[in-house]
Structure 1
Amino acid sequence: MLIKLAGLFTVADGRGEEMNQGETVTIFNDMCIWMPASLIDKKIQWEEIDPLTVRATFHNKGNRISAVLYFNEKGELINFVSDDRYYSPTGKNYRQVRWSTPVKNYKEMNGIKIASYGEAIWHFPEGEYCYAKFNVKEIEYNGEHLK
């Protein structure tokens, strides 16, 4: 993962097994939140923890990650928690840290019900660090171009 400031200066350049595993968690998280129809993939194994909680294990290109997904009584995803992501502010040193993405405020947009609010949180032993908050105001799909 290459991050540049103004497209000119390298801030972080993460590579390697830790980055690949962490990005596999990110991809699976995106599948759960934005593309739930993709969750019928044979590369995903499901284990029920209780009526509102499941553990999912995702295999992708040599990476195996798992996450616990929490749902409310309406069947809406309310949190995604994984211990398989790595924190690295520079891309040089990696630290395996619990990561979660709580979501809420489901709304119908363009005929699809999605969470309109979400956060991305690192759960460090010294305390939580919420580094992103998302408020979706509108969404546009270009499905006719998908193949």
Structure 2
Amino acid sequence: MRIKLLKFIGIADAKGREIDASALVTVLAECFLVPAYALQSYLRWTDIDQTTAKAEIAYNNTKVSGIFYFNEAGEFVRFVSDDRYYTEKGREYKKMRWSVYADHYITRQGVRFPSLVKAVWHTSWGDYEYFRGKINNIIFS
């Protein structure tokens, strides 16, 4: 994971199994943005109940999982995983509960999708929402 300020100033350059696992959890969580991705052969799905399913993804000896929650309309509303790593200033990595929330569904070009997405770390000192994004439109090409 390489982070640069203004594309020039290096802020972080992290590598290793913790980064690989965290990236894979992010890919898994983003299935709801590209629903066809959820059908890939390297994803394994297990029903928990009518509105909850567990998904596992494995790639290059890294395996992670998470729980997907859906509302009664079948819309994705939350993803939770305990397989993502958290660090402060790149020091020690530790697994920490991480969630993605989706809300405010809209329809564009006949496709219904969440227009509000947020990502939250569930820390011992409380929830830390570090990302909030708004999706206004989608374009099919």
Quickly name the TM-score band, shorter chain normalised: over 0.9
1:145 — aligned with what? none
Contact 1:67–1:81 under 8 Å retained in 2: yes
Contact 1:14–1:92 under 8 Å retained in 2: no
- Runs of 4+ in structure 1 over 4 Å off: none
TM-score if structure 1 supplies the norm length? 0.89
Contact 1:46–1:55 under 8 Å retained in 2: yes
Matches of 1:89 and 1:10, distance apart in 2: 17
Which amino acid in the other structure matches residue 13 of structure 1? D
Please show how residues 4-43 of structure 1 align to structure 2 within 5 Å.
Answer: 4-30=4-30, 32-43=31-42
Which amino acid in the other structure matches residue 46 of structure 2? E
In the comparison of the two structures, how many residue pairs are matched?
141
TM-score if structure 2 supplies the norm length? 0.92
Structure 1 residue runs of 5 or longer lacking an equivalent are: 143-147
Contact 1:13–1:91 under 8 Å retained in 2: no
Identity of paired residues, percent?
A: 34
CA RMSD of aligned residues (A): 1.4
Contact 1:14–1:90 under 8 Å retained in 2: no
SS of corresponding position for 1:137: coil
1:49 deviates by 1.4
1:99 deviates by 0.6
